[in-house]
Structure formats: structure tokens, C-alpha cells
Structure 1
Amino acid sequence: MILLVAVVVSGAISRMLPFSAPAPLVQIALGAMVGLVADVRVELNPELFLLLFLPPLLFLDGWRIPKDELFQDLAAVTGLALGLVLLTVIGMGFFINWMIPAMPLAVAFALAAVVSPTDPIAVSAIAARVPIPKRMMHILEGESLLNDASGLVCLRFAVAAALTGSFSPSAAAASFLWTAGAGLAVGVFVTLAVTQTKAWVSRIYGEDTGSQVLVSLLIPFAAYLLAEEVHASGILAAVAAGVTMSFADVASEAMAATRMRRNSVWDMIQFTLNGIIFVLLGEQLPRILASARATVQLTDHVEPWWLSVYVLAIVAGLVVLRFAWVWVSFRLTLLRRRRDGTADVPHSPDWRLFAAMSAAGVRGAITLAGVLTLPLAMADGAAFPARDLAIFLATGVIIVSLVLASVVLPLLLRGLTMPAEPSKQAEEDRARVLAAEAAIRAIESTQHRLAEGRSDADIFAAAGARIMGIYRQRIESRSRQGQAGRDAAQQERIERELLLAAVAAERGVIAEHLRERRIGSAAGHKLIRELDLIEVRFKG
């Protein structure tokens, strides 16, 4: 309960602060205060942490991420999720071992593996307060969804090398292919099986909204557990389940009430779990810092400030490697397109765009959970070397990367001229026109069916004409070009503002009648819900 209250309070504090502070940083600070002043000690079980928090959050990210944009930049996303992770593990592993000789090379590779994946939860939290360009955000989200498997597979083999003293590249490659491929297959299979079964039951026996929402909550856990059972990536299974769910959801015939309630439940789940992850991280900080004096002795130093030097050096190394990868990838892509004649880009993007892409590589829950999975002891019973040091450094990297992105990204993106992004407005207008035309045809058909053989057919004709007039106005406003189209769009915006003002006035009167008990509570809440739906629709 204390941690949940901290999540609620963090949202209010982050809005009250005079400067832009992402909610994760506020939540870490509140978690640290809880760990200092309250008798709250959460012993994180890494496996349980992974199971409870990551499947639903990664499932939701995979469900809601724009698919067209993800597939459009699939090459860039794959390069970051696979190539950059491998480069980071190798490069940072040797760098950490050189910087801290007391940390064995295998353990240094394990630490590099847990700090290599970016975190979709942290990236989304930063994007909520920093105006990241849409295409960059889509690439970051796609990367963070896919690089978890490669980072955790590298961690698994680094730990195995530390425990056994041996490493097989061929076995590592085969294991990675199985872990990723089987994880993706399991996620797709579970979602399709569940959604098809659910649709069959609903067609025959009817649909229950509560059951439908609960089924959507169970899918990511089922995919994760089944994938782990066959020694595949449960994380990738949850992501694949979410991506598949977005396509299955389009083909489903769920009731509108089910979709609305399901979205509300998932929004609450996302807010709660995101917050608790960072509050838990903050709650662990006092204990991690309390052991800093003993931990630093592992590095052959005495002063704890050396740990800060190592954290900053690791973060700097991660940023440099990321900048180099992004810059080289862009140059190679540009060279290939010019050779193929598929693109003519006379000027390279501003260097700040590459720097922003580098600073946006935020670490979060995956790094925390991964480093906590380091074993406590070796096969002979001896303590696992430098485990406490690895946990301290990984925690420091999470916090510094969050602070870096929060401070540096607004500076880099301020006044930056971004490459033009194709507008989706024409596509949206075309879809709205086609939908309105289908609605008019349906109204005409239903009107004739209802009025057939009735003496008051003119009432049906008048009602149909009034409703069809609304749709014809929509078609007209979306079909005009030039100045006429701009005038129609402006008129639509004005009408929306007027309608929202009217809805607010209606809600005020109904609320006043409820307070004075001039209207029953059931009727009053029904009217307010209708007004809420209208407001949400027109606010987008």
C-alpha cells in the first residue's frame, strides 16, 4: 500500500515541479525516501519480478505500438536490437574489465549484457515529458521491445562462462535462435488460440465484458510462462503476443463497451506497474548505497566516490558506442540508397539528431531484473565474484541514463529542424469519407426496412435525412481541397470547441441537480457518462 501511495503522489509531484521532471525520477526519489524512513523492505525475487511486471507491460507496448511505422523502420530497429547489443556486450565487457581488473572478464560481460538493452517503460516515460519526434520514438520503442532477448541471452552465456570457465560461440548462436524464434512463435500461437476460442464462445453464448477484459489480462502471462517452459524467451513471447493481439483485435467483433472498459483497465495497469517498478528501484537504493564502502574495496580503492566514476564511465561508453552505431548505420543506409537510386539526400541530418538518438537509450526494469539474476554462489560454493559491485553499477547506470535523457534531450531537440515526416491526414480523411459513405448506405437501407408498410413513413424519412446530413457534412469537409478545405477544417474545429463548451455546461447543470437531489443518482450518472463519451470523442 505504501508503494502504491508513492506512485499516486509521484504523479502529482511531477506536475507541480517548476521544471520538467519525468515521473520515473520522482518515483525513484520517493522510493528512496520510503526505504529510508519507513519500515518497508522488499526482497526482490528476480524471477517473480520478471513474471509480474514485464509480461503485461511489454504485451501492452507491442499491442499499441504503430505497426506500419515499426515495419517501415524494421531494418534500423533490428540493427539496434541485435547488432548494437552484441557490439555493446563485447566492447563494454572488455572496457569494464580493463577499468576494473578485479572484476573477472566473464562477470564484466554479464554486466555489459544487462546494461545493453534499453527499456520501453523508461523510454515511454521520458517521451511523456520530452517532445521526441514521432519517427525517432517509433524506432526507440521497437528497439526496446526486441533487444531484451538478445541482451538476456548474452547474460545467460556470460554467467555460464563465469560458472564453468568455458564458452561456445556455436552453442550461443543456436541457443539465441531457439530462444528468439520459439519465443516469437509461442506468443503468436497463444494469442491466436485464445482470441479465436474467445470469439467462438462469444458468437454462440454471448459476450461477457468482465470475462473479455480478464482474458486479455491473462494472455501475456500465458505466453510468458509457456515460452519459459520450453526454454524460450518469455519476454519476446509477451511482445509477440501484444503485436498479434493488435491484428486479432481488428478482426474481432467485440462490443464497444468491452473495448472501452478493456482500454481503461489496461491504462490503469500500465500506470500502476510502471510506477511500482521505479518506486521499487528507489526503495532498493538505501541498501545499495549503504554497502558502497564495502563494495568499492572490490575495485582496490577505498573512497566510495570511485563508484560514481565507474558509473559515469560506463554510461559514457554506452553513449559513445550508440552514437557510433547510429552514425555508421545512417551512412551505410545513405550510401546504399544512393547507389540504388532510391533516395537523393543532399544534406545529412544535424549531428544533434544522432546525439539525441544516443542519449535516448534509457535503461530501466530489464537492467534491474537482469542484474539481480546473477547467482549468489559459484558451483564450488564460493561467492559469485563482484556480484554486489555489478548490482551497484547497473543501478547507477539506470539512474544516470534517466537523468541524462531528461536533461540532455530537451536541449538537443530544441529548435532542431527534423526531416519531413509524411502526413497521415490524407489517409485519415479518406478513411473517414469511406466510413461516412458506408454509414449513409446503412441508414438508407435501415430507414426503408423500418418504414415499409407504415402510415408514418415520413417520420422515418425525416429522421434518416437528419442523420445522413451529419455524415454528408463530414464527407464534404474531408473532401474539399485548397482554401475551401482549410475553411471547412477551421469550421470543424470551431464546432468542436462549441460542442465541448455545451457539454461542459450540460454536465454542470446535471451535477447541480444531483447535488440538490432534483434528479435520481442512476439517471444523473447515466447522463454524465453519455456526456463524458461525447467529450472524449471530440477531444480525440
Structure 2
Amino acid sequence: MILLVAVVVSGAVSRMLPIALPTPLVQISFGFLIGLASNLRVALDPELFLLLFLPPLLFLDGWRIPKDELLKDVATVFELALGLVLLTVVGVGFFIDWLIPAMPLAVCFALAAVISPTDPIAVSAIAARVPIPKRMMHILEGESLLNDASGLVCLRFAIAAALTGSFSIGEASLTFLWLAIGGLAIGVAVTLAVTRTKAWISERFGEDTGSQILISVLIPFAAYILAEHLHCSGILAAVAAGVTMTFAEISRQALPATRMRRNSVWDTLQFSLNGMIFVLLGEQLPGILAAARQTVRLTNHTNPWWLGIYVVAIMLALAALRFAWVWVSFRLTLFRARDNIPYRRPDWRLIAAMSFAGVRGAITLAGVLTIPLTLNEGTAFPARDLAIFLAAGVIIMSLIAASIGLPLLLRGLTMPLEPSKQAEEDEARVAAAQAAISAIENVQHQLAEGRKDADIYAAAGARIMDLYRERIDSRLQQSADTQETRKYAQVERKLRLAGLKAERDTIFLMARDRSIGSEIAQKLIRELDLLEARFQG
């Protein structure tokens, strides 16, 4: 309860602050204050922490990420999500080993693996007051979706090497294939099995909204637990389950009420879980800082400030690698010459913004806390506290650096132009309206057949069909005269929103004066809210 209250309060405080301080930093600060009270501090079980937080978050990322946009820039995304992660694990791993010789090499690789995934939610919070170009955000989301899995799989290998004291490339390659293919297959299979069973039951016995929502929440946990039980990647299973959920929903539709309520439930879960992770990070800081004097001895130093120096050095290494990789990747993908479009040099601000956007967050913390407490023989895991301190420092420093650098770099920044999707949207709206007119005509004839009051059905049908025909005409005209109709649509939208606001204010006033009952007021307000959501979307 304290964690949830801290999430709510930190969200409100971050909006009240005069400066654009990202919400994750505020949540970490609140967690730090809670952690100072030792009787309130949460003792984390690493495996339980991983199970509770990661499956639903990764599942939701896979479910909601725009698939077409992801496929369009799939080469860039894979270069960042896989190539950059492997480069980070190897390059930063050896760098940490050189920087801190007292840390075992396997633990260095584990730390490098855990700080390789990025967190787009933290980036969105940082850039809330400065819009991120949509294409850039899609690339960041795709990168985060895949590098979460690749980074945590590399972490698993590094921990296994630390526990056993040996590492075989051949054995690791086979294990990786089993982890990846098995995890992906289990995620797809679980989602398809659950959604098909759910659809079969709903078609024959009706649909219960509450149970449908609960099933969607349980799917990522089922995929994760089954994959881990079969020694596959539960992380990849959760991601695959989320991606599959998109296509399963298209073929087996839920009720409108179910979709709307489910979206609200998942929005709340995402907000709560992400917030709690950052509050939990803050809670661990007092203990981590209190042990700093003892932790720094692992590095053969006595002054705790050396830990800060190590964090800064690791951050600089991460930034240099990311900047170089993004520059090369964008030159090979987004800015290459193709389709009669000549090559143009990437804007350095775009490369810098993508580099600053490599913020570490929830996944990094979740991963580093899963490092075992002991080795197989029962002795303490080497340099575990040091790895947690450095990972926490990287998270905080990346948030601070991005909160300062991103708003400056994003002002006026543009990505390579994308083809407009307005024609695609107009075509879909016209096709849907034509299908609606045809269906209304059929139902109208069926209802009016043999009835004396057939004119009532004809008048009602004509009125509704006129609305659809008006929509078709407006879309066709919009295609012919884009600039004028766009301006007309903007003016109409503002006028409709003004009218809806006046309607809502009047209904609230009548409800306060008890001119209408609360049930009627709630019904009317819901209708107005849905209309406003349509025009604002």
C-alpha cells in the first residue's frame, strides 16, 4: 500500500514541479525517503521480483507496439536491439574488467548485460513537455522490446558462468537457440490456446467482461512460468505472447465494453508496476549507500567516491558505444540512398538524441536484483553488492543526463519523412461506411416487411444512412481538396469539442441540482466522453 501511495503522490508532484523533472526520478526520491525508515523497507526476493514485474510489462509492450512501424524499421531496430546489446556486453564487460580488476570477469559481463536494455517509458516521461518524433519513438519502443529479452538472456549466461566457473561458446549457442526458439514458441502457443478456448466459450455461453480481463492479465504469467519450467526464456515467451495477442484479437474480437475496460485495467497496471519498480529502486538506495564503504573495498579502494567515478566511467563508455553504433546503423538503414532518394548525412542532433534516449530503467533494476545471493556451494556471490550499486548509479545518471539533454536536442528535430497514412485511413472509413449502409438497408427491409408502420423504419433507416453518406462524401472531398478540407475538419473538431464540453457542464449542473438522477447523469456523461475521445483521437 505504501508503494502504491508513493507512486500516486510522485506522479502528482512531478506534474506540480516548475521544472521538467522526469517522474521516475521523483519516484526514486520518494522510495529513498521510504527506505530511510528501515521498518518500511521491502526485502526483495530476486526470483519473485522478476516473476511479478517483468511478464506483464513485456507482454504489454509486445501487445501495444505498432507492428507496421516496427516492420518498416525492423533493420534499424534489430541492429540496435541485438547488435548493440552484444557489443555492449562484450565491450563494456571487458571495460569494467579493466576498470575494476577485482570484479570477476563473469560478473563484469553480467553487469554489462543488465545495463544494456533501454527503457522507453522513462524516455516518454522525460520528454513529456517536448514531443518525440513518432518514428523515433517507434524505433525506441522496438529496440526496448527486443533488447530487454536479449540483454536478460545474456545476463542468464553470465550468471551461469559465474556459478559454474566455466563457459563454452558451443554449448552457449545451443542453449541460446533452445531458450529463444522455445520461449517464442511457448509464448505464441499459450496465447493462441487461451484466446481460442476463450472465444469458443464466449460464442456458446456468452462473454463475461471481468473474466475476459482477468484472463488477459494471466496470459503473460502462464507463458513465463511454463517457459521457465521447460528451461526456456520466460522473457521471450512473455514478449511473444504480447505480439501474438494483437493478431489473436483481430481474428477473435471481444465485446466493445471488454476492450475499453481491459485497456483501462492494463493502463493502471502499467502505471503501477513501472512506478513501483522505481520506488523500490529508491528504497534500496539507503542500504546500498550505507554499505558503500564496505562495497568500495571490493575494488581495493577505501574512499566511497571511487564508486561514483566508476559509475561515470561506465556511463561514458555506454554513451560512446551507443553514439558510434547509432551513427553507423542510421547511415546503413534510415539514411541510405534508395528509391531515387539520394543519401544525406544524418543530423548529429538526431544521433545525439538517440544516444541520450538510451535510458536505463525498470528492466535494468529488475535484472540486477535477480543476481543470486550465493554460489552453488553456498558462498556469497562475488561482487553482487558492487554490481547492484553500479547498476543503480547508471540508472540514475542516465535519467539525469537524458532529462537535461533530450529536451534541448528534441526541439525542432525531425526524422526522415514518412508517407502519409491519411489516404489509408480515408479508404478504411469509406469502406466501413459503405458496409454499414448495406447492413442498415438489409435490416430495415427485414424489420419493415409486412408491417403497417413501415414508413417509420424507412425514415429511421434513411436518417442513419444519410449520416454515413455524409461521412463518405466528406472523405472523398477531402481527398480532392486536401488543404481546405483539413482546415475545415480542424475547425469542426474544435466546435464539436466546445459543444461537448457545454453539454457535459450542463449535465453535471443538473445532477448537482438533482434535476436528474445519478444513473442518468453517468450514462449521458459516458456517451459524451466516448464522443470526445473520438474527436480528440
User: TM-score normalized by structure 1?
Assistant: 0.95
Does residue 341 of structure 2 align to residue 344 of structure 1?
A: yes
Give the letter aligned to residue 467 of structure 1: I
Q: Distance in 1 between matches of 2:221 and 2:129?
A: 30
What SS does the aligned partner of 2:432 have?
A: helix
Q: From the superposition, tell whether residues 442 and 8 of structure 1 become closer, same or farther in structure 2 (CA, over 3 Å).
A: same
The equivalent residue for 2:235 is 235
More off after superposition, 188-197 vs 445-454: 445-454
Q: Is the 8 A contact 2:90 2:109 kept in 1?
A: yes
Q: Is the 8 A contact 2:75 2:333 kept in 1?
A: no
Paired residues for 1:437-456 under 5 Å:
437-456=434-453
Q: Is the 8 A contact 2:437 2:465 kept in 1?
A: yes
Q: Is the 8 A contact 2:97 2:104 kept in 1?
A: yes
Query: How many residue pairs are counted as aligned between the two chains?
Result: 537
Q: Is the 8 A contact 2:136 2:415 kept in 1?
A: no
Q: Could you tell me which of 382, 386, 391 is aligned with 2:388?
A: 391
Q: Which runs of 5+ in 2 are unaligned?
A: none
User: TM-score normalized by structure 2?
Assistant: 0.95
Q: Is the 8 A contact 1:102 1:298 kept in 2?
A: yes
Q: Distance in 2 between matches of 1:380 and 1:7?
A: 39
Paired residues for 1:308-387 under 5 Å:
308-333=308-333, 338=337, 342=339, 344-387=341-384
Q: Distance in 1 between matches of 2:236 and 2:84?
A: 18
What SS does the aligned partner of 2:40 have?
A: coil
Paired residues for 1:38-77 under 5 Å:
39-77=39-77
Q: From the superposition, tell whether residues 415 and 514 of structure 1 become closer, same or farther in structure 2 (CA, over 3 Å).
A: closer
Paired residues for 1:126-275 under 5 Å:
126=126, 128-275=128-275
Superposed CA offset, 1:260-310 (max 9, x none): 111111111111111111111111111111111221122222221111111
The equivalent residue for 1:283 is 283
Give the letter aligned to residue 147 of structure 2: N
The equivalent residue for 2:533 is 536
Q: Could you tell me which of 374, 398, 415 is aligned with 1:401?
A: 398
Q: From the superposition, tell whether residues 482 and 109 of structure 1 become closer, same or farther in structure 2 (CA, over 3 Å).
A: closer
Superposed CA offset, 1:344-379 (max 9, x none): 333212111111111111112221122222232334
Superposed CA offset, 1:188-210 (max 9, x none): 10110001001000111111111
Superposed CA offset, 1:443-494 (max 9, x none): 2222222222223322222222221222122112211257744333333333
The equivalent residue for 2:513 is 516
Q: Distance in 2 between matches of 1:478 and 1:50?
A: 49
Q: Distance in 1 between matches of 2:478 and 2:485?
A: 10
Q: Is the 8 A contact 2:127 2:406 kept in 1?
A: no
More off after superposition, 506-515 vs 244-253: 506-515
Q: Distance in 2 between matches of 1:154 and 1:290?
A: 30
Deviation of the 1:146 alpha carbon: 1.2
Give the letter aligned to residue 349 of structure 2: R
Q: Distance in 2 between matches of 1:142 and 1:349?
A: 20
Superposed CA offset, 1:222-273 (max 9, x none): 1111111111111111111111111111111321111111111111111111
Q: Distance in 1 between matches of 2:127 and 2:230?
A: 35
Deviation of the 1:423 alpha carbon: 1.5
The equivalent residue for 1:115 is 115
The equivalent residue for 2:468 is 471
Q: Distance in 2 between matches of 1:265 and 1:69?
A: 25
Give the letter aligned to residue 138 of structure 1: H
What SS does the aligned partner of 1:369 have?
A: helix
More off after superposition, 76-85 vs 205-214: 76-85
Does residue 294 of structure 2 align to residue 294 of structure 1?
A: yes
Q: From the superposition, tell whether residues 148 and 343 of structure 1 become closer, same or farther in structure 2 (CA, over 3 Å).
A: farther
Q: Distance in 1 between matches of 2:34 and 2:198?
A: 43
Give the letter aligned to residue 421 of structure 1: E
The equivalent residue for 1:29 is 29
Give the letter aligned to residue 26 of structure 2: V
Q: Distance in 2 between matches of 1:379 and 1:33?
A: 35
Q: Is the 8 A contact 1:123 1:141 kept in 2?
A: no
Q: From the superposition, tell whether residues 403 and 481 of structure 1 become closer, same or farther in structure 2 (CA, over 3 Å).
A: same
Deviation of the 1:507 alpha carbon: 2.1
Deviation of the 1:120 alpha carbon: 4.5
Q: Distance in 1 between matches of 2:72 and 2:175?
A: 28
Q: Distance in 1 between matches of 2:119 and 2:131?
A: 18
What SS does the aligned partner of 1:303 have?
A: coil
Superposed CA offset, 1:33-70 (max 9, x none): 12125731101111111111111111111111100011
Deviation of the 1:23 alpha carbon: 1.2
The equivalent residue for 1:420 is 417
Q: Distance in 1 between matches of 2:100 and 2:270?
A: 38
The equivalent residue for 1:106 is 106
Q: From the superposition, tell whether residues 181 and 482 of structure 1 become closer, same or farther in structure 2 (CA, over 3 Å).
A: closer
Matched-pair identity in %: 72
Q: Distance in 1 between matches of 2:481 and 2:298?
A: 73
What SS does the aligned partner of 2:189 have?
A: helix
Q: From the superposition, tell whether residues 483 and 73 of structure 1 become closer, same or farther in structure 2 (CA, over 3 Å).
A: closer
